[in-house]
Amino acid sequence: YNHGKRWKTKFHLLVRLVHTNYLEYVRREKNGQVQAFLLKYINSWVVSI
């Protein structure tokens, strides 16, 4: 956990870069479409904190 400044406060510009295509990997698993949907929105939420 980071106890410093929030990312949006510390940096004026944030560029989102996905290192690996985790969403595609999740889609290939059982119930992958549902998991990919949830993962996408959880990722967006984490980045926006």
Measure the CA–CA gap between 5 and 30, rounded to whole angstroms.
39
Measure the CA–CA gap between 39 and 34, rounded to whole angstroms.
9
Q: The pTM is what?
A: 0.54
Question: Does the structure show a pLDDT above 70 at 18?
Answer: no
pLDDT at 6: 74
Question: Does the structure show a pLDDT above 80 at 24?
Answer: yes
Q: Say how many domains are in the chain.
A: 1
- For residue range 1-14, list pLDDT tens digits in order: 567 777 777 777 76
In a domain, 1, yes or no: no
Would you say 10 and 4 are in contact if contact means Cβ atoms under 8 Å apart?
Answer: yes
Measure the CA–CA gap between 8 and 3, rounded to whole angstroms.
14
**Domain enclosing residue 44, as ranges:** 7-48
- For residue range 28-42, list pLDDT tens digits in order: 999 999 999 999 898
Q: Of 46, 20, 22, whose CA–CA distance to 32 is shortest?
A: 22
In a domain, 2, yes or no: no
In a domain, 34, yes or no: yes
